[in-house]
Chain A
Amino acid sequence: MDFLHTIPFDQLLIQTINGIVTGMILALVASGLTLIFGIMDVVNFAHGELFMLGAYVGVIVLAATGNFWVALVSASLIIALLGAAIYLTTLRPLLGRDPLTTILATFGVSLVLQNYALWQFGPVARKIAEPFTGHFSLFYLDYPWYRLVIALLSAAIIGALWLFLKFGTYGIWIRATTQDRVMAQAMGIPVPWVLTVVFAIGAGMAGASGVLFGPLAGVNPTMGLDWILKAFIVVVVGGMGNLTGSIAAAIFISLLEAYAALWVSPAQAVIVSFVALILTLLFRPTGLFATAPK
């Protein structure tokens, strides 16, 4: 292991923190995706586009109000409404058909949204200013506080989702619908509403993560593509529909990529997560973090 000695400890630590920060954003994206899949068997191909549009709404609201937190909240709400609209117009008619048709329909949605963004905002990347610019020194680097705040905020949103699912009335309805849709309906749970709300929540989480990610890199119409692929990898590695698994897998994959970026270019570091996916499929096809094999 000679090559390990060539990497200084401080770089390793910085990459660990970077990995956890991107991992938390990825976890936020992937948990929305996995929530939607786990509860209604819909593979939302347009999830990356909701993430991207969330970032754009963030850019616009930030320009109008100058307040990052207002931008964050309004982006989540607007994208949640957009999600509900998408669900009602394209996915509800497909209820009861093969889940594969939902991939096709949402792929169509993603084409429309992506090209709409290109048309409306142009191909040039926009930037979201960081809400606060404080730094703390980490070895030779000035590490921005904002990155750590992102990780904490993402964790807080995911935690809130978990509490909501566990204790909220709606959350209990959602879990009941997951277990048995027909029986839930028979017990008087308004299942069509529950499904719409779930899709809206998942979409809103994607929108929020778009705004959070905005300051780290530019906002552009194709950013959704990278994220949907990563989120798909995470969701397969973590086990489809498994919320905890997705979060663990998101951090695991991001750390892997961050460490790989020490040796190769970031574009090639993606291959490491592909390898992780292949190994998972070979040895644990139900997901790396699945508690019990199905």
Chain B
Amino acid sequence: MSLLSENASHPDPLPARGEREERAKRGEEQRRQRALIYWTGFSVVLALLVVAPLVLPEFWRRFLTEILIWGLLAMSSDILIGFTGMVSFGHSAFFGLGMYGAAGALLSVEPPDLWLAILYGLVAAAAVAGFVAYFSTRLRDIYFAITTLIFSQIFYVVIFTWTEVTGGENGLTFRRPPLAIPGLFSTPFTSVTMHWFVVAVVTLSYLVLRRITQSPFGMVLQSIRENESRTRAIGYPIERYKIVAVMLSGLFAGLAGVLYAVQNQFAAPDFVFFLVSGETVIYNVIGGIGTLVGPIVGAAFFLLLREGLSRFFTEYYLIPVGLIFIAMVIFMPQGLLGFMRRWLNE
């Protein structure tokens, strides 16, 4: 059983040959039309995101950039929650290690280099993800969720107490690297170019993840979600698939961490704490798991809700947010975008 089970609709009884061809043609046409709508929608949203920083005031510009970064984190976790049926409560570890990896690169190499920061962050996140995956994929369902949670706390404690290297409670601060392509150009980040850079990274990640979920590999993951023992029986080494899925997910979570570190110019242990993982799961559930864009919408919804509610409830905004979250788990398990899941994944 998983959070998300598609009830395969039973195929109609085999129709006559002529009608079959007719149907195939109609289906082809429909598919093409839906693809057209999908890519039009995709381009419109992308265009809006690109134009947005030019018209929005500074506060909302930064806000939108943050939504996209948290959205990328949530999207990475959707690979596990929505597509493989494993709920990870440990994504803060991957996100945080991405942050500290980037911090390491930016503090140790002079002048600070953006691509090196990304490389260090991804390597750190992937290493941690590999470690976590090796142990936690032995367990299923709730056990997996709890184990990932505890693993992320291990990294939290290590980072929190290893003051000489990680700066302990205070974290690390560093300068923001310039946006540069070696040999071509180098320009310091402004909030507008930062936003565009984040839009580019998140869009590319979305397209890559979407391609992966539609690949044979992604199909095996979805098959693990639907029926693990049957997938094993067919002959797929599901442990290896799961480990790769966790590492892939951790890699993109680490990328989100690097972006967040570059945007805010610090790395802090708070971001490794498991509440960040919990929020990641909340984004997924609110937005709709198994849709990839749903988690981004969930992040946007959550952050806007927090922004709006914190004006009335100050720092206790999590009380109404928690209540809304519980209501959504009970009454709207598909999330905001759940109704268009099939269409988005086609």
Contact = CB atoms under 8 A, between A and B. Distances in A.
Contacts of A233: 150
A270 interface: yes
Given A112-B323, A267-B160, A271-B158, A105 B150 contact: no
A288 B270 CA distance: 32
Interface string A4-42: 000000000000000000000000000000000100000
Does more than half of chain A's interface fall in helix, strand or loop, or is it mixed?
Answer: helix
A285 B87 contact: no
Nearest to B278: A107
B143 A116 contact: no
Contact of B316 (A43, A97, A115, A278): A115
B142 A99 contact: yes
Nearest to A112: B322
Interface string A183-226: 00000000000000000000000000000000000000000000
A274 B157 CA distance: 10
Contact of A119 (B2, B135, B319): B319
A236 B135 contact: no
Contact of B161 (A100, A268, A277, A282): A268
A114 B274 CA distance: 15
B212 interface: no
B154 interface: yes
A111 B317 CA distance: 10
Contact of B157 (A43, A94, A270, A278): A270
A235 B145 CA distance: 13
B321 interface: yes
Contacts of B141: 98-100
Bin chain A's interface residue count: 35 or more
Nearest to A105: B329
B322 A109 contact: yes
Nearest to B284: A104
B153 A101 contact: no
Bin chain B's interface residue count: 35 or more
A105 B331 CA distance: 11
A94 B322 contact: no
Interface in A259-294: 265, 267-268, 270-271, 274, 277-278, 281-282, 285
Interface string B321-336: 1110110011001000
A100 B316 contact: no
Contacts of A110: 322
Contacts of B145: 43, 100, 103
Contacts, number: 112
Interface string B303-344: 000000000000110110111011001100100000000000
B322 A236 contact: no
Interface string B144-165: 0111011001100110110000
A174 interface: no
B281 interface: yes
A115 B322 contact: yes
A232 B153 CA distance: 12
B157 A267 contact: yes
A101 B147 contact: no
Nearest to A106: B326
Contact of B330 (A90, A116, A265): A90
Contacts of B136: 281
A98 B329 CA distance: 11
B285 interface: yes
Given A90-B330, A268-B161, A111 B318 contact: yes
A131 interface: no
B181 interface: no
Contact of A43 (B146, B282, B322): B146
B319 A115 contact: yes
B314 to A, nearest CB: 9
A66 interface: no
Nearest to A93: B330
Contacts of A101: 3, 329, 333
B234 interface: no
A116 B319 contact: yes
B145 to A, nearest CB: 6
A115 B313 CA distance: 11
A111 B321 contact: yes
Contact of A111 (B135, B150, B325): B325
Nearest to B144: A100
A229 interface: yes
A109 B326 contact: yes
B150 A236 contact: yes
Interface string B174-217: 00000000000000000000000000000000000000000000
9 contacts: A100-B141, A104-B87, A104-B325, A109-B326, A111-B322, A118-B315, A240-B142, A240-B143, A274-B153
Interface of A: 37, 43, 90, 93-94, 97-101, 103-105, 107-112, 114-116, 118-119, 229, 232-233, 235-236, 240, 265, 267-268, 270-271, 274, 277-278, 281-282, 285
